[in-house]
Structure 1
Amino acid sequence: MAERYGPWSGGIVDRRTASLLGNVDFRRLYAGHAVSRIGDELYLVASMWLVYALTGSTLYTGLAGFLSRFPQAIGFLLGPLVDRSPLGRLLVVVELAQGVVVLAVPAAAALGFLDVWVVLAIMPALATLARLSDPAQNAAIPRLVDDSLLVRANSLASTGDRAIGALAQAGAGAVIAAVGAVALYAVNAATFAVSALCFALVAIPSTEMTGTIPSARDYLADLREGVSLVRGSVIGHLVVAASLAVAFTGMATAVLPAFADAIGGAGTYGLLVASMTAGTLVGAIGASRLESAPFGPVTIAGFAAAAGCWLVAVSVDWLPAVLVCFGLAFVPVGSYNVLVSAALQTGVPEDLLGRVTSTTGSVTAVVGPSGLLLGGYLGDVLGSASVIVASAIGFSLVASYWLAVPSLRGFPSIGTLEPGTFAC
């Protein structure tokens, strides 16, 4: 566990937050993640809008979302490599590789052969690289901070990411309207370079497995060990519930450009995405206050409330009200994301965390892209508002699943979990 602290004063923030901010390596990891996240949010807005602008079809925006997420399905194959790799070096290489890939769109535009297929082609490449970066960042956190600070660490990271991301998304619509979506790809490439520099400065402690090269038999054994832990514990039910939530969110995401276009245009699209991010931010900020509350009942109530907010959003025709409802729907999602991350980082042994994170990501990736494709298809057939209504009904089904499964319904507070709980 790294204990390198800088001269941070706790006069403004509480003791636990001050302890985190005084951890030099955590600050650098957080800075790299935050900068990379800014680029990701700009890329999200730019890519979805550019695809819609080039085609005018929600079917293509659904396909774009599918291609950007489906490669996550192979993430479980990369998990053993993450657990055995020097995490700092891995993060630097992956960030630089993503920066090179994303430059393909500005290059194609400069050479005069940009079309929708160029935009679609880079999406799976970036998503595959992210399957190395995301689990590596997740696995690094418990190596840098104490177990008692994991919820606060995830809350702090998520809060900062969402705050900056919301501003980036809100501004992205205005930038697209002014200079076009292609310019955001160039900015995204620059953010990858900056995040790589930040990660290069982080000293991430090794484990016994770090730097070892597995044989084919060892690799398969590592793979089975991660999958078995997911299947044999409450993590499996968490994955099912998360997959449903991702699928229904994907349906709404696929039609969001068309929904925004019907009520405003590119600027409105940026505002809608920003409102969702702002809601997630508020939820992340409040997550620390929920770590002592029973996680099961909190999640059930949260997803039920989110479903209601989405239904209201499509039934009003006043833009400020629509934005507020979209934001409120994602408040429970923000808290849920932080608390689940902390639960996994506490309950899963450190030497298995990369594999478990990759496996859970792979499972949700199999279901999530299907929601994007279905949403894109239904958007052309039924209209964007109808798809968002269907997504709201889907969120209520997620709440019902948590209510129906005893281990989820009775899931205790995150603060009471013991290290390695899920391996017992």
Structure 2
Amino acid sequence: MRTLLTNRTFLRLLAGRLVTNAGDSIYYVAALWLVHDLAGSTVYTGIASFLVMAPGMLQFVVGPMVDDLEIRWVLVVTQAAQGLLVLTIPLAAWLGVLRVELVLVVIPLASLLNLVTYPAQSAALPRAVDRENLSTANAVFNTAHEGVNMAFNAVGGVLVGLAAVGAVGAFVVDAGTFALAILLFLGLTLPERAGGDGRAATADGGTDLGGAPDGDDGADESVRERVDRYTDDFRDGLAYLRGTAFVPVLAPQVFISFAMGMMLAILPAYAGLRGGSGLYGVLLSALAAGALIGSVASARLDWVPYGYWMLGGTALTGIAWVGAALSTWTPAIVAFFALAIVHSGGNKVLFDTLVQTVVPEAKLGRVTSSMSTINGVATPIGSLVGGAAAAVVGPVPVVLSVGAANFVGTAYFALSKSLRSLPAVADVEYGDDRIEEFSGGP
């Protein structure tokens, strides 16, 4: 940890992460509550939640882009574009033309830009720290991520609830975070990395365009050719995943992500049922607090066999969601929401470390983006289903269904001896056959 505190590149990357997290938290709270306020229907909040997450379906394009481009400028440009985009909401309100349709247009565009930010930061991390500090760096990143989310989800809820600010004013505050992030990322420098799979390292720390002929920097490559190349890289990522333990481990997570998407879509309505906009921010903060606890604990739990980590974690999460659905006492609801996300917060650290340890660096961007795409498709679709379902049965049964989904995940791991026998993350090494040549299943 002391080494990380003296690593200026890591600290600047971490500071940028904190600021972008703060802005994203405020944006998310303000956007979904504004849609809920303007439309008054879970169908619309389901659509809004879908649009926030739907760009994740294009993750297969982003991974190779991150491998190709110079990370500093990717971060600067995306932050600037997002800042300008979110300012259209307060501008429309000032002109008296703010409608829910405008918010539903801004949401996916901002999310599409943000789709580049976090993969770029993740791709930069293994270049900013040494291998022996990577697990700790991931834990710090995720701990800081959830800590900021916890604080600024509450801040977003407070801003939305203040008559002098409201959801529209929160977008102005959000734009300020993008400006600060730009200043931080402008000063970011990364060491050169070795290329692979036809990509040669460049002086700016990026890589030249894979697939371009020798002597051609790829500038004349058509859009169709680039899309085809990105698709090939996505397939390359999938090809690597086949036969590895990552596939059976991802399967229940995809199912649970679908259910989580349902819950996120109905959260404004659930909070309105139990307390209002203030409770909405508190519940989002509780989710972030639980993830923070999980992230902190994960640094000391990498010795736990990964299969049993998944088995126990999904069971605990299912119990928590059922408790949240059945409780009417606000402190208990908040506590159950926090408990429900502890395992997810810890698993993000452990799973990211597992992937970064086993997967070759030259394939890391496309493999992680392939997995994110698979997992990312489930959550937005779940939001659409959850919003529509809540309009018929109400938000509480939807929360109960999220708990049931986690119990299905528990059964999945309980019935598979090969999955339960997966090794602890601390015991895994580069190219570990127990992960890469996994032949077991449920």
TM-score of the two chains, using structure 2 as the length reference: 0.88
Alpha-carbon offset, residue 87 of structure 1: 1.4
Question: Unpaired runs of 5+ in structure 1?
Answer: 1-16
C-alpha displacement at 1:64, in angstroms? 0.4
Task: Look up the SS of the partner of 2:326 in the other structure.
Answer: coil
* Displacement after TM superposition at 1:206 (Å): 3.0
Once the two structures are superposed, residues 31-74 of structure 1 have per-residue CA deviations (whole angstroms, 9 ceiling, x without a partner) of: 10111001111111111111000011011111001111111111
Deviations 1:254-295 (A, max 9, x none): 111111111111001111111111111111110111111111
Q: Which amino acid aligns with 2:382?
A: G
Corresponding position of 1:321:
332
RMSD of equivalent CA atoms: 1.7
Give the aligned partner of residue 218 of structure 2.
Answer: none
Q: Is the 8 A contact 1:100 1:189 kept in 2?
A: yes
Match of 1:105 among 71, 89, 109: 89
Q: Could you tell me whether the CA contact under 8 Å between 1:234 and 1:407 is conserved in 2?
A: no
In the alignment, structure 1 residue 331 sits paired with structure 2 residue 342: yes
The answer as to whether partners of 2:318 and 2:404 remain within 8 angstroms in 1 is yes
The 8 Å contact of residues 294 and 343 in structure 2, kept in 1 or not, is answered as: yes
Distance 1:265 1:231 in 2: 46
**Which AA in structure 2 matches 1:378?**
A
Q: In the aligned structure 2, how far is the partner of 1:90 from the partner of 1:375?
A: 34
Which residue of 207, 212, 229 maps to 1:211? Answer: 207
What CA distance in whole angstroms lies between the structure 2 residues aligned with 1:74 and 1:184? 28
Within 5 Å, which residues of 2 pair with 1:123-142?
123-142=107-126
Letter of the aligned partner of 1:321 in structure 2? A
Q: Is the Cα contact below 8 Å between 2:67 and 2:207 reproduced in 1?
A: no
The corresponding residue for 1:180 is 166
- Contact kept in structure 1, 2:354 and 2:428, CA below 8 Å: yes
Change (3 A) 1:351 1:47: same
The 5 A counterparts of 1:15-414 are 17-178=1-162, 179-207=165-193, 208=195, 209=199, 210-214=206-210, 215=212, 216=225, 219=230, 221-414=232-425
- 1:130-175 Cα deviation digits (max 9, x unpaired): 2222211111111111222222111111112212221111122221
Aligned partner letter, 2:2: A
Unpaired runs of 5+ residues, structure 2, are: 200-205, 213-224, 438-442
**Counterparts of 2:40 and 2:416 in 1: how far apart (Å)?**
42
Please give the per-residue CA displacement for 1:288-338, whole angstroms capped at 9, x wherever unaligned. 111111111012101101110111122221101111111111111110111
Tell me the amino acid that sits aligned with residue 193 of structure 1: A
Q: How many residues align?
A: 408
Given that 2:53 and 2:376 are in contact with CA atoms closer than 8 Å, whether structure 1 keeps it comes out as: yes
Amino acid at match of 2:283: L
* AA in 1 matched with 2:209: I
Q: Sequence identity, in percent?
A: 36
**Structure 1 residue 239: deviation in Å?**
2.8
Partner AA of 2:62 in structure 1: L
**Retained in 2: the 8 A contact 1:151–1:291?**
no
Q: In structure 2, what is the Cα distance between the partners aligned to 1:106 and 1:408?
A: 50
- Give the secondary structure class of the aligned counterpart of 1:290: coil
Q: Distance in 2 between matches of 1:272 and 1:259?
A: 10
Q: Using structure 1 for the length normalisation, give the TM-score.
A: 0.92
Measure the CA separation in 1 of the matches of 2:142 and 2:361: 21
